[in-house]
Structure formats: structure tokens, C-alpha cells
Amino acid sequence: MKNRRLLLEHVDVPGIDGIDVYVKQGGYASLEKALKKMSPEDVVEEVKKSGLRGRGGAGFPTGMKWSFLAKPEGVPRYLVCNADESEPGTFKDRYLMEKIPHLLIEGMILSSFALGANQSYIYIRGEFMYVLNILEKAIAEAYAKGYLGKNILGSGYDLDLVVTPGGGAYICGEETALLESLEGKRGNPRIKPPFPAVKGLWGCPTVVNNVESIAAVVPIVRDGGDAYAAIGIGRSTGTKLISACGNLARPGVYEIDLGLSVEEFIYGDDYCRGIANGKQLKACVPGGSSVPILPHFLVTKTATGEDRLMTYESLAEGGFASGSMLGSGGFIVFDEDQCIVRNTWNFARFYAHESCGQCSPCREGTGWMEKVLSRIEHGQGHMHDIDLLADINKKIEGNTICPLGDAAAWPVAAAIHHFREEFEWHIKHPSEAQTRNYGLIQQPVVA
Amino acid sequence: MMVKVTIDGIEVEVEPGTSILNAARKIGGDAVPPAMCYYSKLPGTGGKCRTCLVEVAAGSAADPRPMPKLVASCSTPVQDGMVVNNKTSERVHNNRGGVVEFLLANHPLDCPICDQAGECHLQDLGYEHGSAKTRYEEERRTFDPIDIGNKIKLHMNRCILCYRCVFVANQLTENRVHGVLHRGEHAEISTFIEQAVENDFSGNMIDVCPVGALTDRTFRFKSRVWFLKPMEAERSCTKCCGKAVVWMFGNDIYRVTARKDKYGEVEDIDGKTAWLCNDCRFEHKSANDWNIAGPRVINRHSVISQGKYATSMEKPVKRIG
């Protein structure tokens, strides 16, 4: 199937969450190949060749991240899987772990082998307790089959794998906050440098990777890095899980080849099948709540009139003026009836709630933005509030310890940039704004 | 080998690994960025308040590219050939003003009834970098008061969450019973099940607090600090160094604090940081308890450092009325 290629190929096979069905479908073949025929360096080399980029949002090349890992003598190294998926609009990792847990576990063993880690962790979001149970059952099966534990498949390589739940905080998806939380401390992001590759978990070199990145190592080892890199366009290689939600005819998790056009993804029969109830597209947040929102005329085309593609580069084309980001792949679509002010307030409320409160711009700034947006949404805004919001954004952006401050500032900045008229209408017509939405704004379509 | 760094056009040589802030302190004067959370005597502090943000115009001699973001000078180590702009950067000025606005947004501004007034770092910071009017129209955040014991008053509404008191409890006392609860806007300094903060060195939390969030209950509402004479004093103490500043009015000691330097940090005496024990701080308020050496020059805070008592005790200023 077109939207089920590498990671989700066997996801609909009954019983795939059990190890027997998974092995029957070719599971753990990559692991056997790696442990019997490859050295750890070979695995790293294949991942480098594949061009795989971090699927958690930042898009940093995974192979390069691995090669930064410090390897001092006599010091353990750790691999930590970041399964603290909590970005609004993003639910791809949960789907993968829930449906096909052994893919993640096989990826963890392969990646740990490549990095020389003998103890690895899956840090899972606290709200995903039922997924934790699925993973723990799968890990127990893997131990019983000898894929985990001492002397895996007779190769002499040892690995223990543990799943640890968080307490339910978005900030623990930030890698250093995750490590603090994993160590049993308050989940405050650390001051960098040092980066985790040098001083991570318990002061030891650590790699933190997203669930999807780790799962992607399985097909990369099976088919080779070159085969993976053959999918996609330019520096956006391979497949990507996209969790599509909002006013779509068929929302859900899709595995797309990077390079698919946005138009095909929204309207194609293999994918989302257009906007629900025959409505029109108003706006789209293509990569999870923290990336800039795009108005309808910039979703399928860039500002220069080229087709917008589902790649890291194409979605970012035009910078913050007319572009956005692929981010984590949380694809949120708004139809003509949705209120941008209300949505922006909703996002701002999320970030104000999830800020750790450690550094002052984020602690005070996110709360301030939330209050101002709440006032505007509830008909008590002033015209100067719009400029105030834009200015608060500028004072937060880049001045915080971790990227949460930026993530909180960007969606508000982009909403004001693209939908300023709607904000003004809310302020000018406070009582009307309480009873109806502004609707599809009539912006000129760029030719 | 020493590394060379240029801050606001002034070159200085420091040990490798020194932070930009400490290199700037070696230069002194206007080159020094303000710091609300960093405390050189408490390892691990810093990076949180963001008031010490500076612009790095050149990363190092080997890689002279500028750093894209402003960096926290307290937690960024210098590199050889680094060029830093502090006072000379418009961008730093703007963003620091933004940070001060954030710190003041929910601050109660109750200076007229706050014991810290006159020696408050946030007052100084607001005076230097704040604006005359606030843009914050929302209701200010408040916290329910909690009792942390009969010696220290916690006034959470004034707190800027610098975490210094948490580091004091971690590093100077055996058991930390207070910390930060909740997150974001609701983060607060609190104790574990309303336990009192009681141990021999808990009083140092008052000295490290940059604002009026932790104040001395034995001195509460007794006097404005600028009406008192700071005097260097000493007593023999088995728990601490016994070297303090006593704040006097006539022959009465109103309060006892540690000796602080121009950055508001407790001084090193004989190579050790002169932290005070609670016994010296709270229990010895009679002039007979102390061997008083002479006036102490306070050269940080605008109000106290007016110089009334700074030069000589022989000619006290005559007050009108």
C-alpha cells in the first residue's frame, strides 16, 4: 500500500504485537544480520548513508548525532529513546508503539549495538500507561527469545532494555529534561553545553533519539542505507509518519515517502481525502503545534508559486515569512469555520501550562501571552495587544534555556503575521466574535 | 595557558574554562553583566534568570563566526579570541530590558513595605534596565503564604525563582526540606509537607536571595536598611567563621548578615566563603556579643551606599528635625 511502506508495512497483520507473528513477517532479521555480519561501525555507516534525520522535530541527521557520541575508555554509554510524545497534533509514535512494539525494540537493540550501549532506556510519556504495558510485554518476549539480555544471538553482545514512564510533562520531551527526569529529578532542562553526547545520563555520554528514528534503523539495516536514501528528495530521505488531524475527511497516521506533494497528501485518495464535509481549507499547521501556521494559499504552494512538498526543505521554504516546518509530523488542518484566535489561544494555553518555569522569559512570557490571547478571544482585547504579543514573542525567542520558549513564541508570531485581520476583527467586534467565527479570510492568492 | 577574551572592547586574560561573566568581573565596571541567579560561591547556579545575556560577536580565534543567539554569560565558557558585547550592544540592551520586564510582570512591587528595599537586586536591575511604565495589564499572580519556620519569612509573591536558596540547602545543609513545586507560572518555592526549614545554616538563604522573597523574621519591619549603620563585627563561634556585618541603630544591633562583596555575594575570608550560622545571625543581637571593628563600606546598592556612614564614624550626619 502506498501509505504503508517501511515502518507500518505489517501493521494491519493480526497479532503483529506478539513476537511470533512479528518474526514470521520478517521481524528481527535486521538484528540477526547486524549481529552476525556487521560491526557496530558498519551499522553507523549505513545510518549515515541513509540520510535519516531525527523524526522528533528538529530534523538533525541521526548518523551525525551518533558520530558525536564521546567514547571515553571505561565509561558506559547510554541510548535513550524519547517516547514522551506530547506535542499537540502529534500521535505517530504512540500508534507505532501500540501497534507494532517489536519494531521499536528491534530498532533499540540495533541502535544500542551500533553505539556500544549495554543499557538502554525507553522514556515513555506518563499518560501512555497502556502503551507501557504493551512494550513491557514485548520486551519480556524479546528476553525469552534471546534478543535481549546476555550474549544476544551468540554474538557476545549484552543489552538490557528498560521502559520508564514520565510524570506527564511536555517539557520532558526536551532531551536534557528527559535525562533529568530519568535520573529521578525534577524535569528541568539542563544548561548546554555540555551536550548529552558528552555528558548525558548520570554524566555519561548519551544519545537521545525519537521513537520513529530508532524504528527506521530496522529497514535501513535490512535494505541498506542506500536503498533508504533512494526514497525521498534531496536531504529529505526515506519515509515519514504523519499524524493528520483536524477537519480532514480521513484523519489518521500515514507513512508517506518524503517528497509527496502537500496537495496529494490532503486531497489524495490514498491519504486524507480532502477537507471534511465539503468545506474549504483555511489554514494548516504542518508539523505539530510549535511550528508556524500557514494560511490556505501557502499550504499547497510556496510564496513563489512552486508546489509545496512534504520535505524538511520545501515546508520551510520562505522562512518564517511564508513557510513553516515539517517538525514532528503533526499535521493539523483547519477548515473555514475554525477561529484562528481561539486556536492560537489554545496553543498558548498549552505552552503556558507546560513551561517548566525555570527561566524567566518562558515562565513569565508564556503566561502573559496566554492571558492577553484569552482576553482577545473573550472580547476584552485592545488594538495595542496585537503589537504587545508580537513584542513579547521577540523577547522570548532565542532567550530561553531550551526550545520550549521558541515553540511557544512561533505559533503566536505566525498567527499574527498571517491572520492579523482576524485578530483585529475580534478586537473591533467583541460581541460578534463571541457568537460567530470570522470565516475564511479573503487574502489574495499568490499567483 | 591563559585565554584572551575581549569584552566591550577591553581585553582580558583568564584561565580556560572561565565563564564570560567571571571574565567580565575581572575587568569590572560597566563590562559586568547583571546576574540575578548566578552565585559564584554556589556551584551549579546560573543560566536561569537570563539577565546576563550577552552578544558573542566572534566565537573564538579559530572560529570567528558570531553566535546566532544571545548567550547566558554566567554559563558560557570563554574561548581564546572570543569577542563579547555587553554594554555596547543595542540587542543586549533590548533583550535585557525584556527580561527585566518579565521579572517585574508578576512582581508585587511592594517595595514600600518590603524589608529588602534598598538592598534589592531587582530594584537595582529595574532602575538600570527597566521602563517607567508597565505593559502588564493582567492580574498579578499570588501564592498562598506558607510558614517555613520562625526565623525565615518566605514571601513567594516576590520570588523570581533564581533557585539560589535551593542550592544553599543542597550545598550547606545536610537535608534539603524545601524546593520548587509545580511548573511554569505556578512554580513556587515551598517545603515538603509544610516542614519548617530549620538547620544551622538555613539563614544563608536570606543572604543569597536577590529579592525580598526570603527575609529575616527577627528583623521584620524593624527598620529600613538605609537607617542602619553596617559595622564589621566578629565573635568566636564554633559553627561558623563568626565574621559578620551587624546593622546598628545607636548601640542596638537590628540584624546580622554575612559580609558581602560588590556583587552581593558572601565574601571569601581566608580562602573560605564566610557563611554564617543561624546562631550568629539570629541569636546574638546585643552589642556585647560582638567585637565591633568599624564601619563597613557597602558599595553596591544605591541607597545604602550614599556614604552616610561609609567614611567615618567620628562625624555622624546630623539629621534635620
User: In this structure, is residue B289 part of a structural domain?
Assistant: yes
The continuous run of DSSP H or E covering A210 comes out as: strand A206-210
Partners of B54 in beta bridges: B71
Q: Residue A374's domain is classified under what CATH number?
A: 1.20.1440.230
- The partner residue sitting opposite A360, judged by closest CB among B50, B77, B136, is B50
* Residue B129 near residue B97 (C-beta atoms within 8 A): yes
For residue A375, give how far its alpha carbon lies from the nearest alpha carbon of chain B (Å). 9
Contacts of B135 in chain A (CB under 8 A): 388
* Residue B130 near residue B123 (C-beta atoms within 8 A): no
Q: Residue B31's domain is classified under what CATH number?
A: 3.10.20.740
A326 and A364 fall within a common domain: no
- Number of Cβ within a 10 Å radius of residue A320: 14
Q: What is the Cα A221 distance to its own chain's centre?
A: 22
* Residue A174 near residue A402 (C-beta atoms within 8 A): yes
Partners of B294 in beta bridges: B232
Q: Please answer yes or no on whether A360 and B179 come within 8 Å at the CB atom.
A: no
Q: Give the per-residue pLDDT at B174.
A: 86
CA distance A396 to B206: 30
Complex ipTM value: 0.89
The continuous run of DSSP H or E covering B179 comes out as: strand B178-181
Query: How sure is the predictor about B310, in pLDDT bands with cuts at 50, 70 and 90?
Result: very low
A226 and A161 fall within a common domain: yes
Q: Whose CA is closest to B264, among B189, B201, B203, B209?
A: B209
Domain end (from A199, A230, A261): A230
Q: Give the per-residue pLDDT at A123.
A: 96
Residue B303 has pLDDT above 70, yes or no: no
Looking at chain B, the number of H-run helices and the number of E-run strands are: 6, 15
B87 and B166 fall within a common domain: no
Interhelix angle A383-396/B90-105, nearest 10 degrees: 110
**Per-residue pLDDT tens digits for A137-159:** 999 999 999 999 999 999 999 99
- The partner residue sitting opposite B69, judged by closest CB among A358, A375, A398, is A398
The continuous run of DSSP H or E covering A97 comes out as: helix A92-99
Say which residue the cell 540592551 belongs to: B93
* Residue A259 near residue A232 (C-beta atoms within 8 A): yes
Contacts of B211 in chain A (CB under 8 A): none
Average pLDDT over residues B21-28: 95
B215 and B112 fall within a common domain: yes
User: In this structure, is residue B319 part of a structural domain?
Assistant: no
Interhelix angle A340-354/A360-377, nearest 10 degrees: 150
User: In this structure, is residue A6 part of a structural domain?
Assistant: no
Query: How sure is the predictor about B319, in pLDDT bands with cuts at 50, 70 and 90?
Result: low
**All cell numbers assigned to A41:** 561501525
Q: Please answer yes or no on whether B184 and A360 come within 8 Å at the CB atom.
A: no
Contacts of B182 in chain A (CB under 8 A): 357
Q: Give the per-residue pLDDT at A58.
A: 86
Q: What is the Cα A39 distance to its own chain's centre?
A: 30
Substitution target in A192, A350, A353, A363 with the highest count of B β-carbons within 10 Å is: A363
The fraction of chain B above a pLDDT of 70, given in percent, is 93
**All cell numbers assigned to B164:** 539560589
The number of residues in chain B equals 321
Contacts of A186 in chain B (CB under 8 A): 179-180
User: In this structure, is residue B318 part of a structural domain?
Assistant: no
What is the residue range of B74's domain? 3-98
A285 and A138 fall within a common domain: no
What is the residue range of A422's domain? 340-435
A115 and A216 fall within a common domain: yes
- Number of Cβ within a 10 Å radius of residue B300: 15
B211 and B237 fall within a common domain: no
Q: How many domains is chain A built from?
A: 3
Interface A–B counts its CB contacts (< 8 A) at 94
Residue B196 has pLDDT above 90, yes or no: no
Residue B161 has pLDDT above 70, yes or no: yes
Q: Give the per-residue pLDDT at A5.
A: 82
Residue B4 has pLDDT above 70, yes or no: yes
Substitution target in A185, A195, A358 with the highest count of B β-carbons within 10 Å is: A358
Q: Give the per-residue pLDDT at A274.
A: 94
**All cell numbers assigned to B132:** 517607567
Question: Residue B167 gets which letter from DSSP?
Answer: H
Weakly modelled stretches of chain A, pLDDT under 70: 1-3, 440-447
